[in-house]
Structure 1
Amino acid sequence: MNSASPAVPVSLRRFRPFWLYWLTRVCLTSGFQILTVAIGWQVYSLTGSALDLGLVGLLQFLPRVLLVLVVGSVVDRFDRQRIVTVSLLVQAAVAALLGLGSAHAGFAVSRELIFALSVLIGTCRSFDMPAMQALLPNVVPPALLPPAVAAAASANEAATILAPALGGFLYALGAEFTYGLDLTLYLGGALLLSRLAARPSEPSQQRMTLDSLLVGVRFIQSRPDILGAISLDLFAVLLGGATALLPIYARDILHTGPWGLGLLRSAPAVGALLMSAYLMRFPIAQRVGRVMFAAVAVFGLATIAFGLSTSFGLSLAALAVLGASDMISVVIRTTFVQLETPDEMRGRVSAVNSLFIGASNQLGEFESGATAALLGTVPAVVAGGVGTLLVAALWMRLFPTLAQRHRLVQEPAADTAG
Structure 2
Amino acid sequence: MLRHFAHPKRLTLVAVPLAVLVAVAVTPQVRGQQGAGAFESSDEVRAAIARAERASKRADRRAQSLERAAGQAEQEAEKIASQSAALAARIQETEAEIAVGKGQLQLIARQQRALDARLGERREPLIRLTGALQNFSRRPLVLSVFRPGSIRESMYLRAVLETTIPQVRGRTAALRAEIDKSRALRAEAEGVLRKLAEEEDRLSLRRTQLAAIETRKRLAARRRGGEADRQEERALAYAEQARDLDGLVDRIDAAGALRDELAELPGPILRPTRPSQARASGTTTRIPPSTSRTVRSPSGLRLPVDGRTLRGFGSVDSKGARSEGLLIRAGAGAQVVTPAPGRVAFSGPFRGYDRIVIIEHPNGWTSLITGLARSDVNVGDTLAEGAPLGVAPPDGGAIGFELRLGGRSANPLDHLSR
Which TM-score bucket, shorter chain as reference? under 0.3
Q: Which has the higher contact order (CA 8 A, sep 6+)?
A: 1
Q: What is the TM-score of this pair, normalised by structure 1?
A: 0.23
Q: When you count helix as a share of all residues, which structure comes out higher?
A: 1
User: Which protein shows a greater Rg?
Assistant: 2
So what's the TM-score if we normalise by structure 2? 0.23
**Structure showing the higher strand proportion among its residues:** 2
